[in-house]
Structure 1
Amino acid sequence: MKVLLLKDAKEDDGGQDPYIRELGLFGFEATLIPVLSFEFLSLPSFSEKLSHPEGYGGLIFTSPRAVEAVELCLEKDNKTEVWEKSLKEKWSAKSVYVVGNATASLVSKLGLDTEGEKCGNAENLAEYICSREPSALPLLFPCGTLKREVLPKMLKDKGIPMESITVYRTIPHPAIQVNLNSYYSTQGVPASITFFSPSGVTYSLKHIQELSGDSMDQIKTQGPRNPERNCLQLGLRNGCADAATTFAAIGPTTARALAAQGLPVSCTADSPTPRALATGVRRALQPPGGC
């Protein structure tokens, strides 16, 4: 059974994307199609802040891209040696909060210990931070242009100082349409499509709509034809009409983005991890389904 994942590949220590591996354990043939690209911003300013850990109470990372910005700062400014000799130790003495295992793994490669990775989303992480002993110094929060305001607002309401800096912006991957067309023409209709971010919904859904033709409007007004399985019926132009595809989301924020488009969500992963997604997709695709 084919599953389409709208994300870029991230190989683990075993040389395979963990989502591909976990879905494969459940008998799914998963394919990755990247839908997002990133441009890094304000790296000189961010590099300067990283050089002065004494001015901060800790770090907050809510995405792998923010960690990559740290790596770029160290490479571009030839600070890798300084990081290993002194900066890493100074930042290690402070709290480093993260969302998700993927982000935590990247932070650990910088030599820093993390906490909060099991919180699952920014809102839960904010609650976790608020439960800790607050620092008088601000937490440094490198983020993207599309960051949600939940975490900053919750920390502000609790009187926890935080300094955010925008270090990247999200843009559509230049090959979304070509890759989707190629997938559907060669692989046919997938049993499930998983979205990994609201911006991923924004940038890829229009191309799926183009493949679906007029049937997408009917879905929005009439809902899925088989409510027991909560499936999305895609009448595709390539001759695979009436094939059923479930829509899955990696988390509640992404699920809300799909719902805002009037589309049914078959499955929202219990946590943003490969195992949770694989388990959820399996439940959604097993009659009578549900997740």
Structure 2
Amino acid sequence: MRKVVLFKGVSEDYEKVFSDNNYEVVFVEPLQFSFINRDQLREKLDDKQYEGLILTSPRAIEAVGRCWDPAKYMLWNTKTVYTVGHTSCQKINRLLGLGASGASSGNAVNLAKLIISENSKTHKFLFPCGNLRSETLPNTLTAAELSIDALTVYETKENENLRRDLMELNESAPACMVFFSPSGCEYIYRQLQTFNNRLSVLPHFAIGNSTAHKIENLGLEIAGVAQKPEPESIMESIKTYFASTVS
């Protein structure tokens, strides 16, 4: 049974998909988060000026969930919530009780195209995000003359246990590694440079194009990129790679 390292928090969905395909999963969280600007977020959620809400990361969804009051924010029942991927749609429904669009978008570029196609230039969107957010989506929407109000609701930092976790991982025998964010890639490789490791030569997989580009910018090769930010898509990419190396 091949061992796969997923650089993310523990996920039952990922564990099930990999286990069903006879892969062992090891979760290593390279990041830690702190939630900020809660009062500002509450005020904006109560503001009627927005046509919709854009939530492109699990942590942004959690930040809104920490402030959420269904009785107070009933106005959002008639507005559109946009996100990327089926998992995020499910999380929004579970934490906020709202439906979301963008399950099949796959990435920020496609999500921006969807938002532009469904809205007029006068529409304004609330965009809770992290301090290390990508500018792809806001720049694309701004270029299309849509208005976006970005509010930083969480900060991303390096997990204080990352070096220890990587050194322990180095003593095991993983077959490949999967990266889930550009910032995670940076923190991981900053630590890998501090000790002799066997991890850098493993096949590297990415959850999406932004993460893949970050890995390439670090001077490393990409073994595969998930077509969608979902466990099934990552699993397919890994299976395809190993099938090609055997044949």
- TM-score, normalising length: structure 2: 0.93
Report the aligned-residue RMSD: 1.9
Please point out which of 262, 269, 272 is paired with 2:229: 272
- 2:60 match: 66
Secondary structure at 2:235 match in 1: helix
The answer to which structure, 1 or 2, has the higher relative contact order (CA under 8 A, 6+ apart) is: 2
User: How far apart in 2 are the matches of 1:265 and 1:189?
Assistant: 20
Distance (whole Å) between structure 2 residues aligned to residue 45 and residue 137 of structure 1 = 21
Residue 222 (structure 1) aligns with: none
**What is the TM-score normalised by the length of structure 1?**
0.79
The aligned counterpart of 1:102 is 87
SS at match of 2:98: coil
> SS of the counterpart of 1:117?
coil
Aligned counterparts, 1:1-291, within 5 A: 1-10=2-11, 17-52=12-47, 54-74=48-68, 80=69, 83=70, 85-88=71-74, 90-109=75-94, 110-134=96-120, 136-185=122-171, 188-212=172-196, 234=198, 245-288=202-245
Quote the sequence identity (%).
Answer: 32
Distance 1:21 1:150, change over 3 A: same
Displacement after TM superposition at 1:22 (Å): 1.0
- Following superposition, which runs of at least 4 residues in structure 1 exceed 4 angstroms of deviation? none
Gaps of 5+ in 1: 11-16, 75-79, 214-233, 237-243
Unpaired stretches in structure 2, ≥5 consecutive residues: none
Map Cα deviations across residues 126-157 of structure 1 (whole Å, 9 max, x no partner): 01101113273411010111111111111111
Deviations 1:196-229 (A, max 9, x none): 000010111233344445xxxxxxxxxxxxxxxx
In 1, Cα distance between equivalents of 2:44 and 2:28: 35
CA distance in 1, matches of 2:91, 2:14: 17
Aligned residues: 245
Q: Distance in 1 between matches of 2:93 and 2:224?
A: 30
CA offset digits 1:244-291 (Å, max 9, x no partner): 62111111111110100110111111111000001111111224369x
Q: Say if 1:59 and 1:135 are closer, same or farther in 2 by CA, change over 3 A.
A: farther
Task: Give yes or no for contact 1:212–1:235 (8 Å, CA) kept in 2.
Answer: no
The structure whose Rg is larger is 1
